[in-house]
Every structure is written in structure tokens, then in C-alpha cells.
Amino acid sequence: MPFFSQARAFDRLWPAISARVEAVFDNGKFSHGKQVAELERQLCEHTGARYAVGVNSGTDALVLLLRALGLRPGDEVVVPAYSFVATASSVVLAGGRPVFADVDPVTYALDPAEVERVAGPRTRFVMPAHLFCQMADMSALSRVAARRGLVLLEDSAEAIGMRQLGVHAGLHGAGGVLSFFPSKTLGAIGDAGAVITDDARVAELVAGLRHHGRFGHTLDHFPGISTETARPGTNSKMDDIQAAVLLAKLPELEREIARRGELAAAYRERLADVPGILRLPEVVDRGPGSASAFYVHLIEVERRDELVEWLARAEIGTETYYPIPLHRQPCFQSDYSTEVSLPNAEAAARRAVALPLYPDLTLGQLDRVCSVIRSFYSGRRA
């Protein structure tokens, strides 16, 4: 059983996908074209954002958003120590310095009190990451950012479908991002991402920076390649094939989010009394209009690495999120890290493992995963 698969979903959606892919060939523009423009429009409609800008990946979206918000060389950005490496490497790539803070042990998101503790005179930005199934406490983080004069932006790469107090992830501050990596809740067949924002100036800057710093009408516009280059940008245009796939899948998104929630509830019911499990997902109530969306079903367990091996022998795929906290990653040791202890991030890195979770997973498959986990902690190990 794979950790993730969308094979059955693609079989089901292939007529819609193939029709949109054929439209790409008919148009003759394979990136930055009509399908990308339509996807941007539909992402605005789905999230409530005023602007959506399609780019090549979620990581590029973070880099370009930071640049568009005016990050200067050496500016500090407070980031959570427990997240995918791109949360911090994007800061470095944009010219800034990540400052690592500990996370809340329930949500795995940036702890607002930690932002207060680590922010210094060179700190200009704070960037929480919304992980696994729910958002950071954006009300508390907004208050901290306002009090300290910090720009708040969101690594909402995993968070499509998540809302807090009626506002979609990525829209609580200056802007956010979406990743459409294949395993994401809304996944393409390769890399793709987007910046979402309510700020017209930020959207304009990101749109220019993704196209080598060319501004004005460039989307689905062949002559745009020859327009004036206003500032150094990069080549981060979204492929129309990816946009076509995402447009075919977008109508299924709410149904698939609901199915993921059903599977998460089934895991909770079946694993609640297993003695070796230290923590199951707990969704925090953030008030009216808030919504979770299970991208990953993460649990914390005793003897994590042994359990992963046990499941692998039973041909059950898992994913370890994230075995090295960011402040311990080798790429940050020389210039950006300190020897501080961030206990919640370090505990999660030792104990967390993600179980198979995708809309086409059956309850029978889920039951087998839970049975194999029970067998491990009951001592019935080979």
C-alpha cells in the first residue's frame, strides 16, 4: 500500500484532464498561457483572494512573495523550526536570515510567544507555516506582528481549504502561497505553485518577478517576451499542462477534503487506545468560520523508526515529517543556526510519522494499517 497515490483519481478524471490538455496543444503556448490565467481566476474564487499568481513551485512562490514584500539583504524572518526546509531556505534565497522559533506541540505551528522571545532589532518579518491539517493561531500572531512592527506572511503551501474565522489560509497578512506538488491536497503531475494576496502591488510585483522582471501584459501574450525588464526576476512561469490538470481536479477538491476528514476520523477511532501512540491529531477550535483540511495524518509514537520499518515489511508506506528540525539542518549551521534547544520541534522530529491518507484510500486499507500498528505495539513482532 503506497503512502500516497492518485492513480484511481486520474482514471476517473481523465476525460476532463485530457480535454484541458488538448486545449493547451491547440493554443500552442505551453507555459504562462490561457490555462494558467483560468486557474488564477478560479483560485481567487475558491480562496476569496483578490489576486492569485501562478508560479513554478511553492518554493518559488515563497521566494517571490518575500522579494515582493521588500525583504532586504540581512533582514530577519522568524520561521518555525519544525517544517519543510523550504520554509527557511526560501528566506535565504530571497536574501534574508531565518530566525528559528519553537512550535506549539498540538498544532505544530509557530508559537506566538516564541516570536516575542526571538524577534530582535533586525527582525522585519514573521512567517508561520500551516502544517498537516490546521492553521497556526493567526489572531495571536497578528497581534504579535502588529505590536512588534513585523510584516506577517504565511507559508500556506499545505493549506488549501483551511480557514480561520472565515478567512482562507494565506490571506491573514500580506500574502501567502499554495503548493500543488503531486501529493498535496490539490496536486498537479509535477511542480506548480501560486501566491495569493489581497494586495494589488504585491500581486503585480510577483507577476513581474516570475517572468524575468517583465511587467505589464505577459500572461498568454507571446510578444511579452520582448517587453522591458524593469528589475531582475527569474523564470518561474507555471506550465499550462499543470494548470490544466489542476483545473480538472479543482471541482473535486471539497469532496476530497471531506473524504480526507472521514479517513482521519476513522484513524482516530481505531488508534485511540493503542499504547505506543503518544499523540493523535487534535484540531484546535479557532472560532466561527474556521475549517481544517487533512493534508497529512501525522501521529507521534514510541520507537518511531522501528514502527516505520515494521510497516514497510508489511508493504505499507509512511513518511517521516520532519526528522531533522530546521535549526539542526546542516545547510543552516554555519550562518543561521544557534545551539538553542527548541524542545517541541525536537520532540516532533523524533516521534512523528505520517500514515497513508488520500481520497481513494479505502476503509479496508486503513483497517490494515491500524492492525499492523497494533501488532507492533502488542509485541507480536517478527
Span 57-74, pLDDT tens digits: 999 999 999 999 999 999
Compute how many other C-beta atoms are within 10 angstroms of the C-beta atom of residue 146: 10
The whole-number average pLDDT for the span 136-149 is: 97
By percentage, how much of the chain surpasses pLDDT 90?
83
Residues contacting 346, CB < 8 A, separation 6+? 325, 328
What is the pLDDT at residue 382? 44
Residue 166: burial class (beta carbons within 10 Å; 0-12, 13-18, 19+): exposed
Decide if pLDDT at 224 tops 60.
no
Strands (E) in the chain, as ranges, are 51-55, 76-80, 97-101, 123-126, 151-152, 163-164, 167-168, 176-179, 193-197, 277-279, 297-301, 352-355
Residues of the chain with pLDDT > 70, as a percent, come to 96
Report pLDDT for 340: 80
Local confidence band at 238 (pLDDT 50, 70, 90 cut-offs): very high
pLDDT at 337: 59
| 220-227 average pLDDT score | 63
Question: What pLDDT, on the 0 to 100 scale, is given for residue 86?
Answer: 96
pLDDT of 111 above 60: yes
Give tens-digit pLDDT for 330-368.
988 876 556 788 999 999 999 999 999 999 999 999 999
Burial bucket for residue 357 (CB in 10 Å: 0-12, 13-18, 19+): buried
Residues 158-179 pLDDT 10s: 999 999 999 999 999 999 999 9
> pLDDT at position 180, please?
97
Which band of pLDDT confidence, cut at 50, 70 and 90, is reported for residue 32? confident
Mean pLDDT over each residue of the chain, to the nearest integer: 93
Residue 7 has pLDDT above 60, yes or no: yes
Mean pLDDT of 178-205: 96
Per-residue model confidence (pLDDT) at position 116: 95
Task: For residues 123-142, give the mean pLDDT.
Answer: 97
Distance CA 228, CA 25 (A): 28
